[in-house]
Amino acid sequence: MPSTWRLGLLLAVLMACSTALCITVAGWAMRQNLSSIARAVVLDDLGEYAVLYNRNGLKELREVFEAGKHEESQAVRITNPQGDTIFEQTPDAVAGYNWPRRPPKKMKPSETWLMTIAHTERQQQLLVGCQVLDDGNALWFGRTDAEDLAYVEHIRRHLWFAGLASTVLMLLPLTWFVRHVLQPVREMMLSTSKIAGGSTDARLQAPDAVPELQAFATAFNTGLDRIAALTAELQDANDNLAHELRTPLARIRGNLETFHDHIENPTARDAAARGLEELDRATALVQTILITRAAEHKALKLHLEIIDLRELLTDLFELYKAAAEERALRFTLEAPDTRWVLIDRQRINQAVANLLDNAFAYTPRGGVVTLALSIQGEQARISVRDTGPGLTAADHARIWQRYVRGSASSATTPGMGLGLSLVQALAHAHHGSAGCRNNDDQGAEFWIDLPATDPLASANVV
């Protein structure tokens, strides 16, 4: 659940609980106060009617009771010592209650007794007071709590309305918090996800955020700008160094070849041969850096020609079969379909060869490496699958960067972390893409997607 909904739900629950608690406490307090008032009213009216009856008899009591207009919620009755009713005024609202027939035996004249009677079908209760009269009869006066309940319910409705209004008012700061805190944080998280995914141009954006988040975004972006500047300087230095090293390396190699060809000492010839091998590795490294840089800046010159992809992969398969046998690997080719495409044969060969070199290097003896070609519409995919250790989550985010090697690499694993960056750069130079994923069972799969439109039409466009 998004944080906005969580916060809104939490506030709604808190307000509902607070309102319910206030209503419960207020209702209990009002019921207690109203109960005390009702007892006082019953005792007061009971004493008044007893005085009227003792002074002037039943006639004045009846006249005063009727004049008070309490017929809807109050009742009065007089019973003799045997429990027979002598007089009774009981409206419909007070009917149905089980009145006592006689007061307690120990009651003396002028003494009062109170009790509460519940109704079998109604929620209202009847508060009954009793007083023994001078002639021995008993005066009963009852009053229901209907008015009290209606009053409490009225107050509850107002409290619920106040709670609802308070909840609506609390949405105002919630709206402000969502707009100036949560939404900027969510946008910043999306930006950081892009940065973690390799998008070095992404920056944190928080124009409507609170000042603290804006300051944080500014400081973070400043750090990213410094890192980007240092990285660009380092890459430029590497590129310039690689460019400047080509000529000295070529001269050194020529001198070593001359030395190797004219020296008779076997030890010296062997040292010269090893030096030539190291120079070839350094030259290949320099060349890889230059090609990658040129492809990333769309400055790489491609020698395009119409090529049969299945034939290209078959040639590579035949070339790498001996290396697979040497490493005790099962090397297979899956290319049921073919497609003629317009590509630079040398560059695509170089890219696929890098994928095969990695698969052979990371697949243990007895494993399987598969070179495959699949056609989907106007796209051709060249993939290399292996049964090696696979990729971690960190590998997926970083493995295409220059000078970054997979987590499964070791000191004995050949390479400097430039192969995959070269593969991606060459794929982009052909208006394609490169990707990777883990296999369902074991190992990983790397692929190059190339446009597979009509090569003649593409050649005409070029």
Q: Where are the domains of the chain?
A: 3-151, 211-296, 304-461
d(CA 189, CA 325): 49
The phi and psi torsions of 206 (rounded to 5 degrees) equal -145, 65
For domain 211-296, the CATH architecture is Orthogonal Bundle (1.10)
pTM over 0.75: no
Q: Scanning the structure block, which residue is given the tokens 């062997």?
A: 270
d(CA 387, CA 359): 8
Q: What angle do CA 426, 431, 435 make, to 5 degrees?
A: 65
Do 342 and 383 meet the contact criterion of CB atoms below 8 Å apart? Answer: no
Largest CA distance in the chain: 155
Do 387 and 372 meet the contact criterion of CB atoms below 8 Å apart? Answer: no
Looking at the domain that runs over 3-151, which CATH code has it been given? Answer: 3.30.450
> What does the pLDDT profile of the chain (462 residues) look like in tens digits?
666 677 777 777 887 788 788 878 887 888 888 888 888 888 888 888 888 888 888 887 777 877 766 556 788 888 888 888 888 888 887 888 888 888 887 888 778 888 888 887 888 888 899 988 888 888 888 888 888 888 888 888 888 888 778 777 777 777 777 777 777 888 888 888 777 765 667 788 777 788 888 888 888 888 888 887 876 776 676 666 666 666 776 777 777 778 777 777 888 878 878 887 777 777 766 677 667 766 666 666 788 899 999 999 999 999 999 999 999 999 999 988 888 999 989 889 989 999 999 899 889 999 999 999 999 888 999 999 999 888 887 777 678 777 777 666 654 555 567 788 888 888 988 889 999 999 888 889 999 999 988 776 655 544
User: At the top level of CATH, which class does the domain 304-461 belong to?
Assistant: alpha beta
Do 439 and 390 meet the contact criterion of CB atoms below 8 Å apart? Answer: yes
- Going from the C-alpha of 3 to that of each of 177, 258, 304, 429, the distances in angstroms are 11, 73, 53, 43
| Strand, coil or helix: 364 | coil
